[in-house]
Amino acid sequence: MTLVMGIVNVTPDSFSDGGRYADAEAAVAHGLALRAQGAHILDVGGESTRPGAERVDPRLEQDRALPVVRALADAGIAVSIDTMNAVTAVAAVEAGARIVNDVSGGLADPEMFAAVASSGADIVISHWRGHSADMYARAQYADVATEVVTELASRVDEAAAAGIAPSRVILDPGVGFGKKGAQNWATLQGLGRLVAVGPRVLVGTSRKRFLAEALAEPREEDPAEVSEDRRDLATAVTSVLAAQAGAWAVRVHDVAATSDALVVARSWEGDSRWASPTRSR
């Protein structure tokens, strides 16, 4: 069964929901609501990685994220910390996080792999070619799907050398990170090749611009004007396709829509064993 990872951004500037849950109380309430809608994991982040975002001091990142991590973990929920900073990763694991989700794949902070190795947590290693401020300048590929697989396989080797067994690794193709338009679709079309590498695979397409571009084109709209509801529907569709390609989990803002889509897909396939004990709708 493909798991659903719900997004809890404790930031003022995330690209989709920045500022909605910027204080701990609102973020915890949002996380609990996502859990009730069917999320199996909650991914808490205190630093935006939207295109053009500036870095924040790790102490500010921790001030935002750690109270939320602690409260959700104390409620018995599996929590992931979305961070590129080793010190934040360690602090979050101490607060109860079970997974470190590093969109840089250990490249932004050279201490990350060693820190995670000693923490005992699992780690999401994403495909990454640079920080948000300039990542699109590095979106140069001869064969994007092949290069994503090759570069992530190399990161798995680096993680193993630091003491992180492949069984603790989750790979993320980095949709939207250092990839433009059609490059994202090509990456997703090659998802089966990444699944074949061995570790679990996490896919995050939620509300990203390449979905808006696809939806806008037939109507000749400005992608920026494509509504959140339409992006969420597109996210649910791509999440189902990712599940069918073998993804271990999908990372989404709208947990309810994606959970429903996965239930329908599994029913279509003749598998009614959808098990989400927290699903209350």
**What residues contact 269, with CB distance under 8 A and at least 6 apart?**
none
Residues 73, 96 contacting (CB under 8 angstroms) = yes
Q: Identify which of 11, 13, 32, 34 has the alpha carbon closest to the alpha carbon of residue 21.
A: 11
Amino acid, res. 51: P
Q: Are strands 3-9 and 41-45 parallel, antiparallel or unpaired?
A: parallel
User: Of the candidates 208, 153, 199, 218, which has an alpha carbon nearest to the alpha carbon of residue 178?
Assistant: 208
- Residue carrying the six token digits 């396709």: 241
CA distances from 18 to 85, 94, 268 (A): 20, 26, 36
**Which of 118, 117, 87, 85 lies closest to 101 in space, CA to CA?**
85
How is residue 266 written in tokens? 């599994």
Residues belonging to the active site: 208, 251
Contacts of 46 (CB under 8 A, 6+ apart): 10, 11, 56, 60, 61, 62, 63, 64, 65, 66, 82, 83, 88
Is 197:149 a contact under the CB 8 Å cutoff? yes
